[in-house]
Structure 1
């Protein structure tokens, strides 16, 4: 085999809008803003496109290494052996080692963002439940005050008692509806966020596995000098 350049080496190729809880018109306005809740609509930014953009640089480097090997010319007597520029190959590999930690940090940032969104949704859920409970307590208190007033009137004691009972029953039913609606809404939000977090975790782990496999394969296929590559007397 003829040696043309000290930086050329032989390498063997092994093969080629979320719903809002029910509200009572007579109650005070809630203390939270529904616009602050996570955006789970169909037109929300595509997380798959964002993850692809995060890994584009590393993938480009790996693809260029693969292209360098697959496009290299083979030997007439050993088709699986090709010559590549060792310096260029090592430069690209070093660039990959430099950029890979940055891409992994970006993936970790995506995970932290998802966890933050989940924590924010949980906080919003607590606000919804607290607001519903406060409104229910106000309704029951108002009903009791109205009942006391009616009971104090002469000749209307029995009527007041019946009206009070009716008002309390209605207030309790309204309280139950508010609490149940808030619970169901919170469960739905947290389930959707849990599903998104799980998918994001699987995507990131899949990306890391691909990078690790390609890096391991690249290390195995690094060129090694053979005795025939050295100058002969």
Structure 2
């Protein structure tokens, strides 16, 4: 399907990630990644309820939101965000550039009420099945516009090098901050895969990590096309996705 119009799709995309440091202990770990929802009042609540139902049916181990959740003030889409309270797996999020514009504190409060934990510049250790891993999150690259500091060096220095590590960062370019630290997988969005061809060709000029899987040194990077829309509610040759990632 080349053309998508509006909020009518549930495009689950299965992605297998092979990473040697994960391979033995985390084979079968399932992560659902939601990115670039760009929620407005126009996004139908019933659509989101069906989305959550279908996500729960996938039985993920964890759910992550990789930024640009809102395209308006969080209070205006509180009803939409409240739907995510029905997610059955643990859920985490980091902010994107549009979230920075529309208000981080309000978004954090709304997401917290739906039991979705903010990982902006935070690290959390998780026990999944019989194994432990750590999630690290970065606030968006444009956080400085709201005088939000990103203590990148200090944050990465706190990572446990003996634990498998997943980095959540809205913009793929943040992979450049990893340095020598152990980050097995980075999950990002931001690009929308260009959203509308041939505009996507222009996006590629500025986004070296455009869509899909990449390998940066020892880190596997996955860039999601995202669920929603920016500007026109149209996608052409850049299908939206709800990513189901499996470590194997």
**TM-score, normalisation: structure 2:** 0.17
Per residue, is there more helix in 1 or in 2? 1
Between structure 1 and structure 2, the one with the greater Rg is: 1
